[in-house]
Structure 1
Amino acid sequence: MNLLNINISFEEYAGIAELSENDRQLCERAEQTLSNSYSPYSKFKVGTAIRLTSGETILGSNQENLAYPSGLCAERVALFTIGATYPNAVIKSMAITAQTDAFEILKPITSCGGCLQVMAEFERKQNAPIEVIFYCLGGEILKVPSVKSLLPFSFVEDRLSSGN
């Protein structure tokens, strides 16, 4: 038996003012897209902004449906938009934030497992890391250098894509 450890490195910021101008703008775009959230059931709005290496920014917000689980998280809305509209684009970074009137969000929210798997697939497909910024409105921010940091054991089965 071998005992192995996985450690991740991430950056922590006290607030948006500490970020670089590019990261601050990406967080602000994610915040702006909260108004496009369709979340009448959970009342939990999530917004995502994704910066492509071309400089273009793609936005996404969570979209709920009364017939659970037919809705879709903000991250997947934006990522699937990229896949359908810009299939060869390379993602540089993404920012994710949330807001609700039901309670005060005190820490950055993180992506669900389904979103992490989709994010990992995009990172694998482009063979380049995607920086992820978890932005708490009016609070702290966490930034990781790669999706692999968040989901080190993502589902990978190379034989599925090889045609065997």
Structure 2
Amino acid sequence: MKKTEFNFSYEAYKNAEELPVEDARLVEKAIEAAKNAYAPYSEFNVGAAVLLEDERILMGNNQENAAYPSGLCAERVALFYANANYPEQRVKAIAIVALKEGKMVPSVVTPCGNCRQAMLETETRFKKPIRIIMGSQNGFWVVDKAHYLLPLSFTGDAL
């Protein structure tokens, strides 16, 4: 038997003012997107902002549905919009935040498994990493690639 570990590093910031300018701008857009989320059931408004290679910023937010599995997370709304409308533009970064009662939540918001898989697919598609900025009122975590969030991932190589 051989025991193996997965390790990765991430950046931790105390507040948005500490973030690099480009990341802070994405966080602002993610907050703006979260304010327009359709979340009448959970009241957990998630916003995502995607930075394309041409410096264009696209936003998405969670869209809930009374039939819960029919809704869609903010990250996938933003990524799918980017890939559908700008298929030749690489996604450089994505920022994710959540609001509850109009304020950022206290814990860092990390993407669900489906969103991690969608980020990884986008990363694989363009053969370049996506910087992921995850925020809260108590700080931010930043990882340099989606693969770090889904180390035992399923890719097209398995097909």
1:26: Cα distance to partner? 0.7
- Can you give the 5+ residue segments of structure 2 that lack an aligned partner in the other structure? none
1:58/1:78 contact within 8 Å kept: yes
Change over 3 Å in CA distance of 1:8–1:40 after alignment to 2:
same
1:108/1:134 contact within 8 Å kept: yes
SS in 1 for 2:17: helix
Matching of residue 140 in structure 1 with residue 136 in structure 2: no
1:98 alignment partner in structure 2: 98
4+ runs deviating over 6 angstroms = none
- Can you give the 5+ residue segments of structure 1 that lack an aligned partner in the other structure? none
2:154 alignment partner in structure 1: 155
Distance of 1:150 and 1:47 partners within structure 2: 19
CA RMSD in angstroms comes to 1.6
SS in 2 for 1:69: helix
Distance of 2:28 and 2:104 partners within structure 1: 19
1:83 alignment partner in structure 2: 83
1:64: Cα distance to partner? 0.5
Distance of 1:8 and 1:89 partners within structure 2: 27
TM-score under structure 1 length normalisation:
0.92
1:153: Cα distance to partner? 1.1
1:104: Cα distance to partner? 7.3
Distance of 1:103 and 1:36 partners within structure 2: 13
1:139: Cα distance to partner? 2.1
1:129/1:146 contact within 8 Å kept: yes
2:71 alignment partner in structure 1: 71
1:56 alignment partner in structure 2: 56
Change over 3 Å in CA distance of 1:88–1:139 after alignment to 2:
same
1:103: Cα distance to partner? 9.2
TM-score under structure 2 length normalisation:
0.95
1:43/1:102 contact within 8 Å kept: no
1:100: Cα distance to partner? 1.0
Match of 1:127, as an amino acid? Answer: K
Q: Percent identity?
A: 42
1:36: Cα distance to partner? 1.3
Bigger Rg, structure 1 or 2: 1
